Structure 1
Amino acid sequence: MARAAPARTGADAADRFETMYRACYGDLLNYALRRSERPDAAADVVAETFLVAWRRINEIPSDQARLWLFGVARRVLANHRRSARRTADLATRLHGELTHATPAPPETADYVGRAFRTLPEADQELLRLVAWEGLSTTEMAVVLGCSVNAVRIRLHRARRRFAGALQDDSPLSEYATKGLT
C-alpha cells in the first residue's frame, strides 16, 4: 500500500505549481488546441486543468506531473464535449418546440400601439414588465438591477410620456384640435 506524500506547505506548493506550470503549459495548450474546435475552448481546458492541479497539488506524483496533467486535460476535454453535446441537444429540442410557438400580441387599438412605439425602448420595457409580465416595482428592481425607488420614478415618467403619446395619437385628439369635442 502506497503512502500519501506529506502535505506541502503553502510556499512549497506554490513553487511546485509554478515550476509545473512553466514546464507543462505549452504542451497542454498544444494538446488542447489539437482536440478543440476553437482556441478559446482550448484555453478553457488548460485553465481548468491547472485549477484541478492547484487544488490537488499534493496528490500529483513528482516524477509524472506532466503525464498526470495530460490525464486531467483528457477528462476535462471529455467533460467539455459532453457539455457541448447536451447544450446542442437542448438547443435542438427548444428550437423544435419554439418553432411552432407564436406569442399572442396584446389586443390593443392601433393608436395605442403607435403611441407605444414612439416611446424610448427603456420606457417600453418598463411598461411591458408591468403590463405584460405583471411584475411589481420590487420585482422590476431585481430584474433591472436598480433600487425600487428608481423603478418607481422611471415608471412614473414612462407612464406620463405614454399618456402624452396616447393623447397626441388618440382618435379623439383630432376632434379636440378642431374644437368638436
Structure 2
Amino acid sequence: MEQDVTPATRFRRLYAANFEPLLAYATRRVEQPEDAADVVAETFLVAWRRAAELPPDDEVRLWLYGVARRVLANHHRGGARRDRLGERLRQRLRVTSSPDPGTEVPERLAVQQALARLGDLDREVLTLTIWEGLEPREAAVVLKLTPEAVRTRLTRARARLRTALGHDVGPSGHVLDVMTARPQKEGR
C-alpha cells in the first residue's frame, strides 16, 4: 500500500475495482437480483468496518470473495428460516381461519329477530346455555331455578325458537348449535 493513501481512498479504489465482479458472483448465487445487491452491500460494509485488517492489495479481492461467501451463507440460512416460518404461519392460518362472517349475516339476523319474539325467560335460558356456554345446572343458579326447570324451559324455548325461525318443530332433542346455525332435523 502506498504511504500517502488514506484508508478512505483505498476503500474507494477497492470498491470501484471489485463491485462489478462481486455483484456478478452474488447474482449467480441468489434468486432475486435485489438480494445480490444486499449481499454486495453487506460485503463492503464488512470491508469498511475491518479496513485496518484488510489484506494487501494483491490479496484483497480473494478476501472479499471469502466475505461475500459467508454473507451468502447467512443470507441462505435466513431465507430458509423465513420459508419455514412462513410455512408454519400459513398452516396456522389455514387451521384458525374462519369463514367470511358476511355469509352468516342473514342467518344471524333471522335468529336475532326470532329471539326478540320470544319471552324474556325463554330468551335468557337460550342465551345463557348457547351463547354463554353454561350448563343447565349453571344457568339454574343464575336464574334461581332448579336444574330440572331450566332443562324443561330450555327444551320448550328451543321448540319456540325453531317455530319462530319458520322451521319444522319435529321431535324434541338436544341441539347445541341452534343459535349459530340452521337447526338440523332432529331425531330420537
The two structures have a TM-score, normalised by structure 1, of 0.51
1:40 aligned residue: 34
Partner deviation per Cα, 1:62-119 (whole Å, 9 max, x = no partner): 13110110000000000000000000001111111221103596x9875xxxxxxxxx
Please give the secondary structure, in 2, of the residue aligned with 1:35.
Answer: coil
Runs of 4+ residues deviating >4 angstroms: 107-110
Which of 75, 78, 84 does residue 80 from structure 1 map onto?
Answer: 75
Please give the secondary structure, in 1, of the residue aligned with 2:45.
Answer: helix
Please give the secondary structure, in 2, of the residue aligned with 1:36.
Answer: coil
Alignment partner of 1:92 is 2:115: no
Which structure is richer in relative contact order (CA contacts within 8 A, separation 6 or more)? 1
Aligned residues: 103
Alignment partner of 1:49 is 2:43: yes
Residue 12 of structure 1 and its aligned partner are, at CA, apart by 1.1
Please give the secondary structure, in 2, of the residue aligned with 1:100.
Answer: helix
* Whole-angstrom CA distance in 2 between matches of 1:69 and 1:92: 34
Partner deviation per Cα, 1:107-155 (whole Å, 9 max, x = no partner): 9875xxxxxxxxxxxxxxxxxxxxxxxxxxxxxxxxxxxxxxxxxxxxx
1:24 aligned residue: 18
* Whole-angstrom CA distance in 2 between matches of 1:90 and 1:65: 37
1:58 aligned residue: 52
Please give the secondary structure, in 2, of the residue aligned with 1:97.
Answer: helix
Structure 1 letter corresponding to 2:30: S
1:101 aligned residue: 96
Structure 1: runs of 5+ lacking an equivalent: 1-7, 111-181
Alignment partner of 1:67 is 2:30: no
Identity %: 52
Moved more, 55-64 or 66-75: 55-64
Structure 2 letter corresponding to 1:80: H
The two structures have a TM-score, normalised by structure 2, of 0.49
Structure 2 letter corresponding to 1:98: L
Alignment root-mean-square deviation, CA: 2.8
Please give the secondary structure, in 2, of the residue aligned with 1:61.
Answer: coil
* Whole-angstrom CA distance in 2 between matches of 1:22 and 1:102: 52
1:134-153 aligned at under 5 Å gives the runs none
Structure 2: runs of 5+ lacking an equivalent: 110-188
